[in-house]
Structure 1
Amino acid sequence: MTTHKTVIDLHSHWFAPSTLDILGRRAEAPRIGRQGDELAIWRTGAGAGKGGAFPLGAQWYDLQTRLTHLDHVGIAHQLLSWPTTLGVDAALPFADTQDLWTQWNNDTAALVAQHPDRFSAVAALSTDNLAWSAKELERGHEQLGLIGGVLPVNGFFSRRSAEAFRGIFEVAQAHRSHIYLHTGFASPKVHGQPPDILHDDNEALRWVIDNGFCFASAVATLAFTDFLAPFPDVTIQIAMLGGTALGALAAEQAVVSPRVQAGPLREHFKQIWLDTGAAGSGTAAVAAAVRVLGSERIVFGSDYAPVPDIRPTLERVRAATATDPDGQKSVLFWNAQQLLARHGVQVAAQE
């Protein structure tokens, strides 16, 4: 049974047909191949797991599987992005990825054109060739109908690393882009990123802690330096609730600290939204972020594709906002509706 579509999901990933083909032809990680009866992707670096393989269910690449699930759980619209978590960009030189990014952007734009009421998208960009990425972001806006680009959050770990992306942000300002920061490392050419730690104990929990630190550091770079000052028309979405709400809590501490004297949080976050992706969907974390930043700075994100079922995330976010019905509607729909409208995407409310 199809439910009323009352939620906008700004954190979801998919693999275009060209992705399966291009990574499927690789013999070494990162590559896509068969693992038993299903597809899997073999990754490299921290977070890849001991075997390096991550299973890919049909939701990653089968459109009908996705649409059926969205209808079932009540998702009106999804923002599609490349999953920087997989580390392809950081692991391979531009010569080995240009076709991958170009074709993903072409295929994704075609999907959006086919289903504009259900999907919008941001472009996949290279961090190994930032000049190309600035041009590709421009192409995404002018030729493909994309609304911005996705970049790995560790590229904004420090002001030093963020400076590498100034050219991309200049194009983003000209086109009033939406820039999405998602888990992962940029190319080693980008200096000032955090260390890539390979843990030998409780890797999953260590990853959560490391991830929170990296995301919160990006929040500090973008909310508490003047990096964004020349780019007032660019909107920023930071995944995983800015580090499982660590970014929001650090921001609160900055405001009350006599050493920082940061000023009102509203000013620091006027261009920034945090989404409730997998590592930021805990009930306590969502409630803390809403309390500190206000419900208007939080948007729903399911992390759909690596997360095959949106319902548990949706239930946790609803539980975190249950005492504030208007705030809950803001997080689940209104904030994203207004944000997308700024970028020319209209999503009608369906009650």
Structure 2
Amino acid sequence: MSLSFPVIDLHAHWFAPSTLDILGRRSEAPRIGRLGDDLTIWRRGAGAGTGAPFPLGPQWTDISARLDHLDGAGIVHQLISWPTTLGVDAALGASDTLDLWTGWNNETSALVRQNPDRFSAVAALSTSDLDWSRSELARAHEKLGLIGGVLPVNGFFSRASAEQFRPIFEVAQAHRSHIYLHTGFANPVITGQPPDILHGDNEALRWVIDNGFHFASAVATLAFTDFLDPFPDVTLQIAMLGGSGLGALAAEQAEVSPRIQAGPLRRHFRQIWLDTGAAGSGSAAVAAAIRVLGSERIVFGSDYAPLPDIRPTLDRVRAATATDPDSRHAVLSSNALSLLSRHDAFPAHLASFRKTAS
């Protein structure tokens, strides 16, 4: 399908060579190794199916194959982040992970510098050593050319848990950071997170339900408390439509319920965007989020790498906006272009679209 505007993907992951080396030297999970002919990660800690090995296709590491796939899917630019879903930060302490994050940030910076028109990125941050993360976020902006940082969404499950990240947000405010909240638990040193429930039946379906609750709770923390008030120049991206659209629907209840009296939603979401990553890519969920929050609050995200093909997610978002070309343009293009421009990461080859994105 031919489009008259560039499609931007703000939810994608990769593993740097140093990731394979560091996790490949581990003898216990979380670790990366071979299972038959397949590169595989063994996870430990919170998350769906952590006891089972998770295969890593070539899309995780092969940049040439990635670029070919992006061209085939019609994606002109990706924002890359560390996949907090895999639970490495939750399972290991700072002594076992700081070299991992440093290496990933350095090599991701090199990837962006080599391909500035195709990639932007946010830094991997530690939740077991927040002082280190403050310094690393500043380095990401000042030395690495990254536009912010990624943190696990369960660190913002409650106001109490979010408060522990205030020092990082102070640095983020100084640098006008883009903070991305992705699936997963923070390290156990962060208190106030949700319980890690080990279900005895249909673990995958239970994980979907838990995940929606976790994301919607973070939406409540960030949109409906005053936590963000001291940080007006920080932009927030919340994956999976804030819990498969559950965050948006809860926000709608907050707007209409006489018990909550939250007032107009636009005020609460003025610096928050929700993306259409895997658990939030259903056409009905996308349409509901657009209806409740407006298309200006939704951005396209494919969850590429865990998902090897961007096109099914893109097709579902197109289906959700089939009768509304303005919303389609906003979700697939102009919202992301505006965010990238705000963070001085506007791809040069898209300069002709700057006016429509502003």
> 3-12 or 214-223: which moved more?
3-12
SS in 1 for 2:195: coil
Where does 1:5-154 land on structure 2 (aligned, <5 Å)? 6-49=6-49, 51-154=51-154
SS in 2 for 1:306: coil
Q: Deviations over 1:125-179 (max 9, x none)?
A: 0000001000000000000000000000000000000000000000000000000
Distance 2:326 2:61 in 1: 35
Q: Residue type matched to 1:249 in 2?
A: L
Distance 2:101 2:75 in 1: 27
Q: Residue type matched to 2:250 in 1?
A: A
For residue 116 of structure 1, report the CA deviation from its aligned partner. 0.4
Distance 1:334 1:199 in 2: 41
Distance 2:234 2:263 in 1: 21
Distance 1:41 1:349 in 2: 39
Distance 1:211 1:191 in 2: 18
Q: Which residue of 1 aligns with 2:207?
A: 207
SS in 1 for 2:262: coil
Q: Which residue of 1 aligns with 2:260?
A: 260
Percent identical among aligned pairs is: 78
For residue 47 of structure 1, report the CA deviation from its aligned partner. 2.9
Contact 1:149 1:178 in 2 (8 A): yes
Contact 1:6 1:349 in 2 (8 A): no
How does the TM-score come out when normalised to structure 2? Answer: 0.96
Q: Which residue of 2 aligns with 1:175?
A: 175
Distance 2:215 2:283 in 1: 18
Distance 2:50 2:135 in 1: 37
Contact 1:215 1:247 in 2 (8 A): yes
SS in 2 for 1:144: coil
Counterparts in 2 of 1:4 and 1:74: CA distance versus 1, 3 Å: farther
Alignment length, in residue pairs? 351
Distance 1:109 1:199 in 2: 39
Q: Which residue of 1 aligns with 2:346?
A: 346
Q: Residue type matched to 1:230 in 2?
A: P
Contact 1:44 1:52 in 2 (8 A): no
Distance 2:351 2:231 in 1: 30
> 47-56 or 234-243: which moved more?
47-56
Contact 1:45 1:198 in 2 (8 A): no
Counterparts in 2 of 1:273 and 1:50: CA distance versus 1, 3 Å: closer
Q: Which residue of 1 aligns with 2:232?
A: 232
For residue 349 of structure 1, report the CA deviation from its aligned partner. 6.7
Q: Deviations over 1:17-68 (max 9, x none)?
A: 0000000000000000001111000001243426421000000011111000
Q: Over aligned residues, Cα RMSD in angstroms? A: 1.5
Q: Deviations over 1:232-270 (max 9, x none)?
A: 000000000000000000000011111111011000000
Contact 1:5 1:71 in 2 (8 A): no
Q: Residue type matched to 1:322 in 2?
A: A
Q: Which residue of 1 aligns with 2:278?
A: 278
SS in 1 for 2:194: coil
Structure 1 runs not aligned, ≥5 long = none
Contact 1:240 1:275 in 2 (8 A): yes
SS in 2 for 1:179: strand
Distance 1:4 1:312 in 2: 20
SS in 1 for 2:143: helix
Q: Which residue of 2 aligns with 1:317?
A: 317
Structure 2 runs not aligned, ≥5 long = 354-358
Distance 2:48 2:299 in 1: 28
Q: Residue type matched to 2:10 in 1?
A: L
Contact 2:299 2:332 in 1 (8 A): yes
Q: Residue type matched to 1:284 in 2?
A: A
Q: Residue type matched to 1:67 in 2?
A: L
Q: Which residue of 2 aligns with 1:290?
A: 290
Runs of 4+ in 1 over 4 A off after TM superposition: 2-5
Contact 2:46 2:87 in 1 (8 A): no
